[in-house]
Structure 1
Amino acid sequence: MSRYLFDNSAPQASGRFSALETCYDPVSRRQLELTGLAPGWRCLEVGGGGGSLGDWLGERVGPDGEVTITDIDPRWAEHGPQRPPHVRLLRHDIVTDPLPHDTYDLIHARLVLLHLPERLRVLDRLVTALRPGGRLLLEEFDCGWTPVLAAPDEASAALFERVEAALHSQVEKAGADPLWGRRVLGAMAGAGLTDLTATTYAESWPGGGPGIALHGVNIKQTADRLRADGITDPELTAFQALLQDPTFVVNSYPLISAHGRRPHPEATPR
């Protein structure tokens, strides 16, 4: 059984991947380019979801490079376009399955470690999988800052905040860290990476738009858990209706893109 709150086998997974790809793939591509990504690189895309970023990496590294897209449940990426031989899709659990050492020029994971109780151990594994000089790009949400920017009335704003708070409580109960985004760069420093930088991206999400739909699919998938925490069916119905109201606007989940480099070992003294 998946330990993720947002199990990829659920029917809502497709809508979640669509919202994430629409809103955040352009951001992730820009951040990946900043790593120096070039033809011939060996890349690992962890938690590849629908496979969009892994396929884009394959285009950038070309036939002389190599891209491995992994996911604990790769079914959504399996239905993507025919992939060239240098791009492969692998069912893989980043917590427990083998991972080669000193191999990759670039490793990227978006919204993966946030959900893993073993996130610090997984970070160490990713660092070890980099070749010396290789780059790690982790992109994570800071779910602690999603203010309502506009609402038809105070009750609507309060409803959104109540339901979101209940969702974040469920995220924590599942072993995830909703504030991992603000901690990730420090964790990467603790794992021995150097040349560290971080960029934060956020935008407004109006009702009826592709971004705010992420809230809708997440609430649908966790509705039973939210009811157990006291959220009522009328509140859930009103919440979903609010997400379709163009006068209701929230701040997106801030995406923190953290870069680091595995240092070369010091030269052995003669």
Structure 2
Amino acid sequence: MNGYVFGATDLVDEQREAMQRCLDPITFARLESLGVGQGWRCLDVGGGGGSVADRLGEKVGETGSVLVTDTAPDGLRSRGNVEVRQHDIVTDELPEGEFDLVHARLVLLHLPERRRALARMVRALKPGGWLLLGEFDCTWLRVLATTDPAAGVVFARFHRALCAVLEQAGADVEWGVHAYQAVQDLGLVEIGSHAGAQPWPGGGDGARWLEINSRQLEDRLLGTGLVTAGDLDGVRASLSDPAFVVSSYLTISTWGRRPLDDTPGRAAR
């Protein structure tokens, strides 16, 4: 995945597990609201640890199917009605007009070619099929509570450095906000969006996710000049303290439907 900065360390499995525990409830609730059910054919782009693909496999049953893709599908496994395929959404073609649902979570924000990838995902939908994106506005990451105001100042520096690293890699740190317009521009209908943030207390899954990120990107974070090694040590100590609470990134689900009268293969050219 071009631009993805978190994938090349021995902490990837722990990162995926923390992410899934934080985000799966949000994703699963949205899949339920879209009515995913028996017989659907689904595509999960950038499937990561596979929790969404597994849930889709349960929902669509024996008469449905799930194709889950990733550029490095080491965390995925084919089983039953779930097929794993190595695939780069930016460069590799997809079947067109095939899927009742195309889902991607925290994929497009990292890709400099995100709009090209999004258009490919839209073309893969059947007329009437649903697109569901789960993305962040990474600029939203606030300290909600701390017993040490200085720790909040250091955390804010860490957050600025983290956003800088992501932008240097080609990410759009506000992509969650921009996704609605991008989906609308591609001609989808019945577009909706839901945004929310959760408290992440120190020692919890969200705080652990951030702590892992600080280790995965340590050299890059220091390279921004915005934080020191001492700052990162302080952030990690804060993220292990239950009295230190941050708001999660603003998590934005965006969805839309390919028009029923659209012709497969012509959408989003």
What TM-score does the superposition give when structure 1 sets the normalisation length? 0.94
Two-structure CA RMSD over aligned residues (Å): 1.4
Give CA-to-partner distance per residue, 1:13-46, whole Å, 9 cap, x none: 1121111111110110010111121100000000
Query: What's 2:5 paired with?
Result: 5
Match of 1:238 among 228, 234, 238: 234
Q: Percent identity?
A: 47
Q: Post-superposition shift, 1:201? A: 2.5
Query: What's 1:75 paired with?
Result: 74
1:94 aligned to 2:93? no
Give CA-to-partner distance per residue, 1:84-124, whole Å, 9 cap, x none: 1x211111101111201000000000000000001111111
1:150 aligned to 2:150? no
2:88 partner SS: coil
Q: Post-superposition shift, 1:232? A: 1.6
Unpaired runs of at least 5, structure 2: 264-269
Q: Contact 1:114–1:176 at 8 Å: present in 2 too?
A: yes
Cα distance in 1 between the residues matched to 2:58 and 2:243:
40
The residue identity in structure 2 corresponding to 1:3 is G
Q: Contact 2:131–2:255 at 8 Å: present in 1 too?
A: yes
The residue identity in structure 2 corresponding to 1:234 is G
Q: Contact 2:201–2:244 at 8 Å: present in 1 too?
A: yes
Cα distance in 2 between the residues matched to 1:144 and 1:236:
19
Query: What's 1:117 paired with?
Result: 112
Map 1:1-270 onto structure 2 (within 5 A). Answer: 3-7=3-7, 9-78=8-77, 83-84=79-80, 86-230=81-225, 231-265=227-261
Unpaired runs of at least 5, structure 1: none
Q: Contact 1:55–1:83 at 8 Å: present in 2 too?
A: no
Cα distance in 2 between the residues matched to 1:139 and 1:52:
14
Q: Post-superposition shift, 1:266? A: 6.5
Cα distance in 2 between the residues matched to 1:65 and 1:229:
47
Q: Contact 1:200–1:255 at 8 Å: present in 2 too?
A: yes
Cα distance in 1 between the residues matched to 2:3 and 2:27:
25
Q: Post-superposition shift, 1:237? A: 1.0
Cα distance in 1 between the residues matched to 2:72 and 2:196:
28
Cα distance in 2 between the residues matched to 1:123 and 1:3:
15
What is the aligned residue count? 262
Give CA-to-partner distance per residue, 1:172-227, whole Å, 9 cap, x none: 01000111001111110011111001111211011111111111111101100111
Q: Post-superposition shift, 1:145? A: 1.5
Q: Contact 2:137–2:250 at 8 Å: present in 1 too?
A: yes
What TM-score does the superposition give when structure 2 sets the normalisation length? 0.94
1:246 partner SS: coil
